[in-house]
Each structure stands twice: as structure tokens, then as C-alpha cells.
């Protein structure tokens, strides 16, 4: 274990490197600046810092990994948060064949492969096990037909992992299979869905006789539900920094409050607001401590535990409260949404506010997570 002095030297090293190498602007997933930043991280060996060294990881200790995450967020330098990094990559490490590990894992940090997730379907809602997309094994290939929805950033991806039905059993969880699919083929059609925030992060995906070789089966045929449950834990871990993704930095709220003057006094000195900000800061600190524990466990090769469900639930609800506070502080200025005469940072506030509510649904809604925590983790009786 490193000494405090060694950890501080590491922090300064990371901070200096980010300052010297990060592009001035790093856009959203799929933009040229995001790709450029990803290549810089890859060349440094920091593209997938939480992965084991043999798969391209950084070799950071748990303490160093936490420091790295903190410095990246402080510098507004986004880590690679793709589903390849956080979800399918760790799952292939755990359950993949030797060929799958050798072929697919190196292509994630190098940015040769970007992955999307094909789970949700239009008629199933949160009941994932009711999926109807079918796959039939013909020789050495699966032939897939069906429709997926809410496939995040699929328009920028060339690979997809998806759940399909290969058999109808007594339980709807039976007969589900987990497949890896090359998106760049005639049988796959992607249609972006325009969101209320003005951007398109999701797609409808139509699968018409799409094909994938049998070697792209992850786990056993008809046993994909077990694989999916393991992956969902990784998905929740992948958005542990949700307060930083969907929330407004608390310092930003303070700076804006200082500019608002009511009856000759700055809003920043209002005791009710200061009490609320203090509570949010304490809650954000607690969330980070929990997240850091999970990150440290992952860096030691441990699987995500029950904390992942707790952390995802609490962090997204916290992001919502942070955005609510910012909207209140801004008052009428927060109502700006799409207006060419308005500043981009003002329009961003309302977009983040709306997205914060969507975040409580993504990767397991707050309602479902509360039920999971109650029944499966705490063992409480159903009511």
C-alpha cells in the first residue's frame, strides 16, 4: 500500500498529465473530440484503468484508481464510459471463451469497437424477460429477427450485445440467449429517437434476418438470463458518477447564487439555501465514498456487490435533487430551453434538469431498484 506522500505525488502526476494532454473541449460519445481523447488515453495506457493489466488495464492500486477518477472528474476530462468499457468488456473477461477474450477485449480500449446494448423492447417495458426477439440456429449461425428500443448511442457503434429468445419455456426467463452481434450488416437498421433535450442518444433497432456466428454466443444457449443479471450489475457500476454526469456541480450553484441579489443581499447568504447546499454536499460525499469502495473492489477483481444497486439508486436521485436546486436558484432563467438568443450554458441547465429525471429510469428504474434492495438484499417481506 502506498504512503500518503506517494499517493499525493501520484495525484499531482495525473493532474499534470491531464492538464498537458486533454483537448480544450471533449464532446459527447460519438463526437470526433471524444474519439481523439480516447486515443490519447489509450496511448497512455489509461483508457480502461479499472481493467486487469493483462487486458489493457493501468495497474493502478485501489487508492490510485480512486485518485485517478477524482482528478478526471475535477478536470472535466471524461473517462471512456461506453458500454464496452463498463459492461460487456468485464462480462467477456468473466464468461467469455478464450477466442472471445483474445478477439474482442483489445478492440475496446483501442476504440476499434464501440458497443451498444440490445435489451429493451417496445412491448416489454421493465419486464425484460418478456422479450420476443427470436434467434434460430441455422448451421453455425444464429439468424435474428425482432426489434429493440432505447439502444443507447447505437448510431455510433459497430457492435451490439443483445438478448434473444431461442426457446419458449415454462418460465419466461428460460430460453433466453446472450449474443454478440456485428451491427455493420444489411439485416440491422438503426433509427435515432429524438429526445426532449434536443439530442438523440437512443435508437430503435430493427433486426431482419441479421446473422451472427455461433462463436458469438456468450455463456450457454437458453441460459442468457443468468448472463444478463451479471451484466446489469456492471451497468449500475458504470454510472456510479451519475451525480457528476447529470447533476450540476455544486460550486456552479454557489457561483450563480452569488450573482442573484434579493433586497440588497446575495442569495448565496440565504440560510435556507445554505442549509440545502450543505445537505447536498454531505450526500454527494457519502455517495462518492460508496462509489470508491466499489471501484476499489473492482480493481481487485471482485464482482460488483449489492452496493451497486444502492449506489445507482442514491446517486441518480441525488442528481435529481441537485438539478432541482439549480433550477430554483436560477429562477426564470432556468426556463430557457431552445432559444438561439440564449447562452449555451443557460440552455444546458434545463437539459440537464430533464435528463436527471430520465437517469432515474435508465439501468433500472428507482422503483425497481427499491424492490430489488428490499426483497433480494435486505430480505424484507413483500407488502
Answer yes or no: 54 catalytic.
no
C-alpha–C-alpha distance, residues 89 and 13, integer Å? 28
C-alpha–C-alpha distance, residues 304 and 93, integer Å? 14
Question: Where on the phi/psi map is residue 336: left (φ > 0), alpha (ψ -120 to 50), or beta?
Answer: beta
Partners of residue 231 on adjacent β-strands: none
- Which residue in the block uniquely carries the three cell numbers 431461442? 166
**Residue 96, C-alpha cell as written in the block:** 467469455
C-alpha–C-alpha distance, residues 222 and 225, integer Å? 8
Instruction: With residue 160 as reference, give the H or E element that holds it.
Output: strand 159-165
Query: How many other CB atoms sit within 10 Å of the CB of residue 89?
Result: 27
Task: Identify the active-site residue in 20, 235, 255, 317.
Answer: 235
DSSP secondary structure letters along 89-105: HHHHHHH--HHHHHHHG
**Residue 242, C-alpha cell as written in the block:** 451519475
Q: What's phi and psi for 184, nearest 5 deg?
A: -80, 75
Q: Give catalytic residues, as residue numbers.
A: 235
Amino acid at each position: 500500500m502506498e504512503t500518503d506522500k506517494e499517493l499525493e505525488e501520484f495525484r499531482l502526476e495525473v493532474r499534470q498529465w491531464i492538464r498537458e494532454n486533454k483537448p480544450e473541449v471533449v464532446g459527447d460519445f460519438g463526437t470526433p473530440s471524444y474519439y481523439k481523447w480516447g486515443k490519447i488515453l489509450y496511448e497512455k495506457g489509461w483508457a480502461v484503468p479499472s481493467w486487469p493489466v493483462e487486458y489493457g488495464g493501468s495497474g493502478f492500486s485501489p487508492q490510485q484508481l480512486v485518485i485517478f477518477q477524482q482528478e478526471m472528474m475535477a478536470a472535466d476530462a471524461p473517462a471512456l464510459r461506453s458500454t464496452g468499457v463498463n459492461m460487456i468488456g468485464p462480462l467477456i473477461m468473466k464468461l467469455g471463451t478464450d477466442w472471445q477474450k483474445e478477439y474482442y477485449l483489445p478492440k475496446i480500449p483501442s476504440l476499434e469497437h464501440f458497443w451498444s446494448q440490445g435489451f429493451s423492447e417496445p412491448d416489454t417495458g421493465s419486464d425484460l424477460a418478456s422479450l420476443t426477439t427470436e434467434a434460430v440456429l441455422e448451421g453455425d449461425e444464429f439468424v435474428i429477427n425482432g426489434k429493440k428500443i432505447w439502444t443507447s448511442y447505437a448510431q455510433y457503434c459497430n457492435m451490439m450485445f443483445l438478448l434473444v429468445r431461442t426457446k419458449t419455456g415454462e418460465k419466461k426467463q428460460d430460453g433466453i440467449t446472450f449474443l454478440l452481434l456485428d451491427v455493420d450488416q444489411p439485416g440491422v437498421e438503426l433509427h435515432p429517437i429524438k429526445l426532449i433535450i434536443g439530442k438523440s442518444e437512443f435508437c430503435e433497432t430493427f433486426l431482419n434476418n441479421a446473422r451472427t456466428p455461433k462463436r458469438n454466443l456468450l455463456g450457454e444457449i437458453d441460459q442468457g438470463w443468468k448472463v444478463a443479471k451479471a451484466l446489469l450489475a456492471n451497468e449500475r457500476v458504470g454510472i456510479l458518477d451519475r451525480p457528476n454526469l447529470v447533476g450540476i456541480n455544486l460550486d456552479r450553484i454557489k457561483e450563480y447564487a452569488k450573482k442573484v441579489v434579493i433586497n440588497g443581499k446575495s442569495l448565496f447568504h440565504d440560510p435556507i439555501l445554505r442549509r440545502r447546499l450543505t445537505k447536498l454536499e454531505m450526500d454527494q460525499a457519502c455517495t462518492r465514498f460508496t462509489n470508491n469502495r466499489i471501484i476499489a473492489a473492482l480493481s481487485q477483481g471482485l464482482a460488483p456487490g449489492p452496493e451497486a444497486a444502492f449506489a445507482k439508486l442514491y446517486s441518480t436521485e441525488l442528481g435529481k435533487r441537485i438539478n432541482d436546486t439549480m433550477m430554483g436558484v436560477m429562477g426564470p432563467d432556468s426556463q430557457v430551453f431552445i432559444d438561439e438568443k440564449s447562452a449555451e450554458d443557460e440552455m444546458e441547465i434545463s437539459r440537464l434538469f430533464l435528463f436527471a429525471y430520465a437517469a432515474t429510469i435508465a439501468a433500472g428504474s428507482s422503483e425497481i431498484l427499491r424492490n430489488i434492495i428490499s426483497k433480494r438484499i435486505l430480505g424484507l417481506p413483500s407488502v
